[in-house]
Structure 1
Amino acid sequence: MSEEQAAFDRLHPAVQHHIVNSLGWNGLRPTQQAAVAPILDGQHCILLAPTAGGKTEAAIFPVLSRMLSEDWRGLSVLYVCPIRALLNNLEPRLSCYFGLVGRRVGVWHGDISDSIKKRAIKDPPDLLLTTPESLEGMLISANDDKRNLLLGVGLIIVDELHAFCGDDRGWHVRCLIQRVQRLAGRRIQVLGLTATVGNPKFLIDWMLPGQPTTVIGAGHSGIDADLTIDFVGSLENAATVIFKLHAGEKRLVFCDSRAKTEELSAVLRGFGVRTFVSHSSLSADERRQAEKAFAEEPNCVIVATSTLELGIDVGDLDRVIQIDAPGSVASFLQRMGRTGRRKGEMRNCLFLATDDEGLMIASAIVRLWREDFVEPINPPVAPWHLVAQQGIALILQSRGLERASLESQLTDIFFDLDSNKISQIISTMLSRSILWEDEGIGGLIGLGEVGEDEFGRRHFEAIVSTFNSPLLLTVLHGQRELGFVDPMSIRTNDESAPTLILAGRYWRVVTSDWRSRVVYVEPSENRGKASWLGSSRALRLELCQKIKALLIDRKVPAVLSNRAKNRLDNLSSSFAFLEVGKTTAEKTVGANQPEWRWWTFAGGAANFLLAEMMTLSGNKSIGHDNFSIRLTFPPNVAEGMALPVELTQQGEKRIRQIGKDLKFSRCLEDADVAAVIKPRLLDRGGAASITAQAIVASNEYFAPHQSRDAP
C-alpha cells in the first residue's frame, strides 16, 4: 500500500467520500498526506507549505475526521488568524467542508454583530474563526456565557504562525493557549500553519514549551519561477509599465506603504485601468468589495499592502508585481506564491524599482531565495509590558485574584521569565494605583482607580490588544465609510478645503468633526494626499550583506531589464572600493567640515549599536542608516573593543521616546521599559560580526555634489 493510500485510509469514511465525490479530488498533496497520522494521533504540529499549497486542508481534513470519529460536540475547535479579512475569507471554504459532514463554522471578531454572537452562544458552532484580540475579549468578558463557550475546546489551529511570532502578538497567542487550556481543564492539541519560516521547529517548541512537537512539510517550493527586475525610477513610471504590460490579465501589485498604494491606484485609474485597492486603513466594507470584485474579474489590477500577503484568496492570478521590494525573503515568497496555481504554469514576480534602494533590495532578496535562505523568526525577548497586560486580563477574567494566585498564574504562563521581576511588576502596578489590593480577609487584587481610568473604557477594550493604535479619523462619503486617515492628511496652511486620496480616488474635505473623529468628504477632481504614521524600515544584516555582495560581483539570478542592468552597473562602479570580508571608511565632505562614512552594510539595528560604540569611544556619530554610519573621524575598531552595555545620552533618549509609545509602559519602571525596547532596536550579533571585519580606508575625497548616498 502506498503512503498516499495509507494516509487517505486513516481519514473518517465520510471525509474520504466527500474528498473524492463532493470535491472531485484525485488524492491528497504531499503535505496533506504527511499531516494525517500526526494530527489523528493528537500530536502538536507545525505545517509548512507554499502559499496555496493546501495547508488549511492538511489541518482540516484530519480534524474533521477526529471530530466525527470521537463525536466532538459543541465548540471544540478554535481557528486563530492574525487579521479579520483572513477570517472572513476562510469562512465560506471551511463552512463548505464542515457542512458536507453536517457540522458548522462560526466567525467571532469586532465586525461581527452582537446578535450573531448571541446566536453562537445559544447554539455553538463546531469551529470558531477568531483573532487573539477577540479571544481575549471572550476570556475577560463580564458575560460568563462568552467564556463558558470555550469550555469544550480541545484543539486550536493558529494560522499564519510566522505573522504572530515575530512580535508581541506571538507572546499573546502563547498566553491565550495556556489560559484556554486551564479554563477547559484538559490538554489542548495545537496546530500551527505557516508558509515561510526559517526555523519552524523552534517556533512550535516556543509556542508549546516543554511539549513534544512535529514539523510537517516544507516551507517553500523549489519549483523555478519567472522573475524579472526592472528599474523605472518613479511611481508614475511604474503605473505606465503596469498599464502597458500584461493587458487582459489579472494582476496583483504590492506596495510597502499605504500612501504609495493610494497614489499608484489613482494614477492607474487615470489611465483607465480597472483598479481596486486594499490596505488596513480602508474600511472593512471597502476591502471586501475590492477583493470580491477582483476575484471575479479577469482583466484588472488590485494594489495592496501586506494585507493580501496572508493567505486571503483573491482568485486565480496571472501575475504578481512588486513596487520596489518587500523587506524579507519570507514576504517575497508569500507574494510570489499567489501565482502559478494553474497546472503547467510557473510562479512569477515582476519587480518595478522606483529608486536605487528598491533595485538593490529586490536583487538581494531574489539572490537570498535562490540560495535557499529564509529568515528565522525570533519572538521578542523580555516582554514585561505583556506580563502587565496578562496580569490585568487574569484579574478581569477571575473577577479579582489573591496576590499569591496572580503571581503563580503569571509565573506559569511566563515560565521562562524571571519570577522576581514578575512580582516586582505587580508591586509597581499596585503602587501606581493601576491595581488595588483589598486589605481585608482574602486580600483580592482588582483594578485600581488609575487602571480603571487608563484601561476601563468601552468594556476594557484597551486590554485585549498588545499594541497601541494610532489616532485616525474615519472618512465618510454620505453614509458610506471609506476608511481612515491620519489627522495630518486634512491640515493645510491656507483656507482652501483640503483634499486627500483614499480608496484610489480623490476627495475634498467638506467638514471635520474632531470630537467624533469623523471627516465628511465628497468627490474631487483635484489631486489629494493621504498620510499615515510610519517610518523607514530597518533591514536585517543578512539582506544588507547580500546587497554589498551584489555591488561587488553584480550577480543577480533573475532577468534584468536593460534599465536595471545599467543602473546596477553604475551603482557597482560607484562602490568599487568595497571588499569582501572587510568594511570601508570613505572620506566625504559634510555641511561644515570633512566627515567619514563607514560602510558597514550591517542593517539599521546593528548600525544603531555600532554608532553608539563609536560615540562612546570619542568619535561622534552624525547619523546612520541600514548601510553606513557618518562619523567625525575615521572609524577605528581596536582589537578587543567591546560593544557598549550602556548607551549614550542620545541613545537613551531615543529609547525613552520609543518607550512612551509602548502599550502598558505606565505599568512598568523605566528600566523595565528600556529592557523591552533595547533588544528590539539593537542587533548585538550583527554588530559583533562587523567589528570582527577589518576596516579599509578609502583615500577618495568627494566634494559635496559628488558625495555618495546609500543605495
Structure 2
Amino acid sequence: MDVFQHYAPFIQDYIYEHNWQDLRPIQVAAAQEIFETDHNVLLAASTAAGKTEAAFFPILSEISKEKAESIQVLYIAPLKALINDQYDRLNEICENSDIKIWRWHGDVAQSQKRKMLKKPSGILQITPESLESFMINRHMNIPHLFHGLKFIVIDELHSFLRSDRGGQTFCLIERLSKLAGVNPRRIGLSATIGNTKAASQFLGAGSKFATDAPQVQNSPQVWRLSMEHFYQTDPQAASQDFKPEQIVEPKTDKAPELADPAIGYIFEHTRGKKCLVFTNSREECEAVCQQLRAYCRYNHEPDHFLIHHGNLSPALRETAEQAMKDEDAYLTTCATATLELGIDIGKLESAFQIDAPFTVSGFLQRMGRTGRRGNPPEMHFVMREEHPESRAMLPDLIPWSLLQGIALVQLYIEEKWVEPPQPNRLPYSLLYHQTMSTLAANGEMTPAELASRVLNLAYFHNVSQKDYQILLRHLIKTDQIQWTENKGLILGLAGEKIVNNFKFYAVFQENEEFSVHAGREELGTIVKPPPVGDKIAIAGKVWVVEDIDRKRHQVYCHGVDGRIPAYFGDVAGDIHPHILHKMRKILSETQSYRYLMKNAQARLTQMRDTCSIAGMPQKQLIDLGGKMWAFFPWTGSYAFLALERLIKIKCGDKLNIRGFNSSRPYFMEFAMDATEEEFFKVLKQEAAKDFDPMDLVYPKEVPVFDKYDEYLPDELIKKEFAYSVLDIKEMKKCVEQM
C-alpha cells in the first residue's frame, strides 16, 4: 500500500517539514498492520529506528477521522521522564491538528488533570501506578472517559515482561476495557525483544484480537564499543609491574579520594563531551558522581556532572533532563535505569557503564541512548575490581563483572539473544493487590462476583479457585476484608489503611523513605536516615543532617564538602541461566574480543590462565585445600537458589556439609566430609528424585519475596516461593549436565 497517502494531512505536512526522504521499514510495516488489520501489533526494532512515529502516524491518522468525547488512545510508559519526553514529541506532531495530548502522573498539575476530566479526548499518557490510582479513585468516571478508546500503546514493552509490574499493567488494561465496554487494540513498542513470539503472546493475553509482530530488515548496525578493566589501586593488569602476589601502594600525589583510576579514566574521557555514566544502583550512582565532582575541584574546573535516579526530587531529575537536551552543553549525567528507557536527551557522544549490567536488555537499552542523529551507538564499559588479598581463594580471583560484561555483549553479537518474558506462574502478591484494588473501586461484592472479576484476568490463569478461597478466608480473618449484613465483601479496617496509602498503587518493592530538604529545596528521598550531625549523600553531594521529623518522614540538612556512601535500599539482580552458560564458555576459550582494551585483555588472559591451572571451567567442584571446596554451577540466579537449597536440605547430612557460603549466582563455598565423586553422586541422586518443590522451603521459613507477601497466608507465600521463584526445572537440568 502507499502508506504516505493513508496518513492524515497534518502527518504528511510534518514529514515534509522535517525533510524526510522516505519512510523507514518499521514505519511502513506498522502502517500496513494498523491500517489494514484489526490485530494487536508488536513493533520490535533497534533504538532510534523510528518506532514512536511508526506507531503514532497511523494511530493519529485513524483517530483524526472522527472526533470523540472520550480518550481514544491510552499510552502507558514505565517512567514519568519517558512520558514527559514523548509528550513534547507528540505535541509537536499534533501541532496542526485538533488532537489533544494529556499527561497523568504525580508531577502533573491538578489544573491540567481537571481539564482532561472535564473534556476527555485524544491521547492520555500515564504510568501503571497512576492508572491503578485512576481505577480506584475515579472508577465511576471510566465509562465516560474511555467509551471511545481504540488503541492502547505500551512503550518499552520489554520492561514489563519479567515482573509483577507488567502483570499489574495488563490486569489494569483488562479491567478498564471491561468497565468501559471497549476492545482497544494493543500496540507494544520495544528495542530489545529477543523472542518475538513469546512477547506477542504476553502482549495479547486477554485480548480478543490476534497479535502480529512484523519482521523488518533493519540496516546493519555499527557499534563503537570498548571494555576496560581497572584495579582500584595500581598496578593494573597490563602493567609490567603487575605481580598478583606483590601489590604495591598507589603512587599518587593526589588526595586519596582521587586515587581510583577507573573514575579518573571516565573523567578524562567525558571532558568536553556530552555523555551518560550508567551504574547498577543508586548508591553507586551517588558515589561516582561525588568522585567525578571531586576531580573537577582538584583540577580547578567547573562542575560539569549531573545526577539522575529514582530517589531524586522531580525538580532535580527534570533539571538534568533539560540540561542534557541543550545541544551546546557539554555535560555528563550519572544515572541508573531511570535514563535507560526511550528518553531522547539530545545528541549524546557516548555512554559509560560501570561494571556489567544484569541483563542483555539493559546493556542494549543503555547503549541505545547514544547513536541518535545519525551517529553509531557508542558505549564504554569500565570494569572495577579490588586487588585480592594474598590468601584469597580461587573464586575471589575471578573478575566476575568483566566475564559477565563480555558474555552480555557476545550473546547479542553472536545470537541476537535477549531475555525472554517471564510470566509469573503463581503471582499471589499481585492477586492480593488486584483483589483489594477491585474491592476498593467497586465497593461491596459477593465472593462469586469478586472471583469472576479477578480470577478471570489472564495473568491469573494458573491460580486455582481453591487457592483463591484460601486467600479470601485469610483476608477476612486478618480484617483486610470483611462480611456485610448482605453476605457481601468490603474492605476491612486493616485493608482500608493499606489501600488508602498512595504507596498501594505500586506493586514493586519500596523501602520506607524520608524526603530530604536543604533550605527550601527538596533534594529527593533516602532510606534509614542517620542521627542528627551525621552525613548523608544525595544529588551527588554530601550533606549534614540538622533535624529529622520521623512523624512526617522528613530530613533537614545543609551541604558540606567530602565523600560518603549513600544507601537507598536493597537492589537485586536476576541473571538468566543463558548468561552464565556463556560466561563459562568464554572462560574455556582462547578467543580475544576486539573491543577489549589493554588492561581488560590482560585480565581476561590472567583469569583464563588461573582457571586453567585449577581445571576450570570443565571442573565444577574445586578443592580449595583441606576439606574446603568451591562449587561453580554456571546457572541463573533462581536455579542457583534452588540448587543451594537442594544441597543444604537434601545433601547436607549425607555429605556432612558445613560452613556454607555463597555468592549468587557465581559460586558456593563449603566444607564437607566427602570426595568429589561422592558429592556428585549424592547431588545427582537427589536432583533426579521427583520431590515436591515445597521440600526446598525450610520448616519454619516464610520466604516473603514480593511486596504484598506479608498480607498473604503462610501456605500461599511458601507455595509461590517454591513453585514460582525457585527455578527447579532449570536446576535439575543443570545438575543432569554436570
Q: Tell me the TM-score normalized by structure 1.
A: 0.89
- For residue 64 of structure 1, give the secondary structure of its aligned residue in structure 2: helix
Name the CA distance, whole Å, in 2 between partners of 1:595 and 1:575.
17
2:507 aligns with: 466
State the 1:654 CA deviation. Answer: 9.4
Distance 2:57 2:609 in 1: 56
C-alpha distance in structure 1 between counterparts of 2:577 and 2:450, whole Å: 40
- Match for residue 150 of structure 1? 146
1:247 has 2:233 as partner: no
CA deviation string 1:79-134 (max 9, x = no partner): 00111121112111111112322211011112223222112111224111101111
* Structure 1 residues 603 and 522: alpha-carbon distance in aligned structure 2, compared to 1, 3 A threshold: same
Match of 1:524 in 2: 560
Equivalent in the alignment of 1:31? 26
Distance 2:410 2:285 in 1: 26
**What is the correspondence of 1:366-385 to structure 2 with a 5 Å cutoff?**
366-371=409-414, 372-385=416-429
Q: How does 1:57-136 map to 2 (within 5 A)?
A: 57-136=53-132
Query: Which of 365, 381, 391 in structure 2 is aligned with 1:351?
Result: 381
Distance in 2 of aligned mates of 1:23 and 1:159: 24
- Tell me the equivalent position of 1:676: 720
- In the alignment, structure 1 residue 287 sits paired with structure 2 residue 317: yes
* Equivalent position of 1:698 in the other structure: none
Residue 162 in 1 paired to residue 162 in 2?
A: no
SS at match of 1:99: coil
Aligned letter for 1:433? D
Q: What is the rounded CA distance, in whole Å, between the counterparts of 1:346 and 1:601 in structure 2?
A: 34
CA deviation after TM superposition for structure 1 residue 326, in Å: 0.8
1:487 pairs with 2:528: yes
CA distance in 2, matches of 1:175, 1:251: 38
2:671 to 627, 632, 646: 632
Per the alignment, residue 342 of structure 2 pairs with 311
Corresponding position: 1:224 with 2:222: yes
Supply the distance in 2 between the matched residues of 1:123 and 1:142 (Cα, whole angstroms): 15
Structure 2: distance between partners of 1:136 and 1:220: 37
Partner letter of residue 444 of structure 1? Answer: G
Q: Closer, same or farther in 2 for the Cα pair 1:613/1:529, shift >3 Å?
A: closer
Q: Give the drift of 1:647.
A: 6.8
- Pair 1:190-2:189 in alignment: no
Task: Map 1:178-217; keep pairs closer than 5 Å.
Answer: 178-209=174-205, 211-217=209-215
Q: Indicate the SS of the match to 1:60.
A: helix
Relative to structure 1, the CA distance from residue 127 to residue 637 in structure 2 (aligned partners, 3 Å threshold; closer, same or farther) is farther
Per-residue displacement from partner, 1:112-163 (whole Å, max 9, x unpaired)?
2322211211122411110111111111116734663233322111111111
Question: Which of 479, 488, 493 lines up with 1:433 in the alignment?
Answer: 479
Q: Is the 8 A contact 1:38 1:45 kept in 2?
A: yes
Contact 1:139 1:147 in 2 (8 A): no
SS at match of 1:156: strand
Shift of 1:249: 1.7
Over the matched positions of the two proteins, sequence identity in percent amounts to 27
Task: List alignment gaps of at least 5 residues for structure 1.
Answer: 695-711
The letter for the 1-side match of 2:547 is: T
Is 1:610 paired with 2:643? yes
Q: Check whether the contact 1:174–1:208 (CA below 8 A) recurs between aligned residues.
A: no
What SS does the corresponding residue of 2:569 show, helix, strand or coil?
Answer: coil
In the aligned structure 2, how far is the partner of 1:143 from the partner of 1:364? 47
Task: Tell me how many residue pairs correspond in the alignment.
Answer: 673
Could you state the TM-score of these two structures normalised by the residue count of structure 2?
A: 0.86
Alpha-carbon distance in 2 for matches of 1:37, 1:287: 38
Query: Closer, same or farther in 2 for the Cα pair 1:249/1:398, shift >3 Å?
Result: same
SS in structure 1 at match of 2:707: coil
Give the secondary structure class of the aligned counterpart of 2:213.
Answer: strand
Supply the distance in 1 between the matched residues of 2:92 and 2:631 (Cα, whole angstroms): 58
Q: Alignment partner of 1:420: what SS?
A: helix
Per-residue deviation, 1:30: 0.8
Residue in structure 1 matched with residue 465 of structure 2 by the alignment: 419
- The alpha carbon displacement at 1:52 in A equals 1.9
Query: What is the correspondence of 1:228-627 to structure 2 with a 5 Å cutoff?
Result: 228-234=226-232, 236-272=260-296, 273-296=303-326, 297-343=328-374, 345-355=375-385, 356-371=399-414, 372-413=416-457, 414-440=460-486, 443-453=487-497, 455-458=498-501, 461-488=502-529, 490-491=530-531, 497-535=533-571, 537-576=573-612, 582-589=618-625, 594-615=627-648, 616-617=650-651, 618-619=654-655, 620=657, 622-625=660-663, 626-627=665-666
Instruction: Give the AA of the match of 2:260.
Output: E
* Range that drifts further, 244-253 or 413-422: 413-422
1:552–1:578 Cα contact (<8 Å) kept? no
Judge which range, 121-130 or 612-621, deviates more.
612-621
Contact 2:72 2:149 in 1 (8 A): yes
Whether contact under 8 Å (1:382, 1:676) holds in the other structure is yes
Between the aligned partners of 1:209 and 1:172, the Cα distance in structure 2 is 13
Shift of 1:475: 0.8
* Maintained 8 Å contact 1:500/1:527: no
Identify if the C-alpha distance between structure 1 residues 213 and 298 changes in structure 2 by more than 3 Å, giving closer, same or farther.
same
Q: Does residue 1:642 correspond to 2:687, yes or no?
A: yes
Q: Is the 8 A contact 2:161 2:202 kept in 1?
A: no
* Change in 2 beyond 3 A, CA 1:468/1:600: closer
Q: Distance in 2 between matches of 1:654 and 1:215?
A: 47
TM-align CA RMSD: 2.5
**Whole-angstrom CA distance in 2 between matches of 1:691 and 1:305:** 35
Q: Distance in 1 between matches of 2:188 and 2:230?
A: 40
Residue deviations 1:343-370 (CA, integer Å, cap 9, x gap): 3x32221111102222111111111121
Change (3 A) 1:147 1:140: farther
* 1:583 positional shift: 4.1
Give secondary structure in 2 for the equivalent of 1:75: coil
- In structure 2, the residue matched to 1:689 is 733
Aligned partners of 1:35 and 1:321: how far apart in 2? 33
Q: Structure 1 residues 407 and 382, CA, compared in 2 at 3 Å: closer, same or farther?
A: same
Cα distance change of structure 1 residues 218 and 306 upon mapping to structure 2, 3 Å threshold: farther
Which amino acid counterpart does residue 408 of structure 2 have in structure 1? I
**C-alpha separation in 1, matches of 2:700 and 2:277:** 35
State the shift of 1:439 in Å.
3.3
Structure 1 residue 242, shift from structure 2 partner: 1.7
Cα distance, 1:107–1:79 mapped onto 2, change above 3 Å: same
Q: 1:534 to 1:554 in 2, by over 3 A?
A: farther
Deviates more, 1:284-293 or 1:577-586: 577-586
SS in 1 for 2:548: strand
Residue 657 of structure 1 deviates from its aligned partner by 4.2
Please identify, of 333-342 and 214-223, the stretch whose mean Cα deviation from structure 2 is larger: 214-223
- Secondary structure class of the residue paired with 2:704: helix
The offset of 1:679, in angstroms, is: 4.5
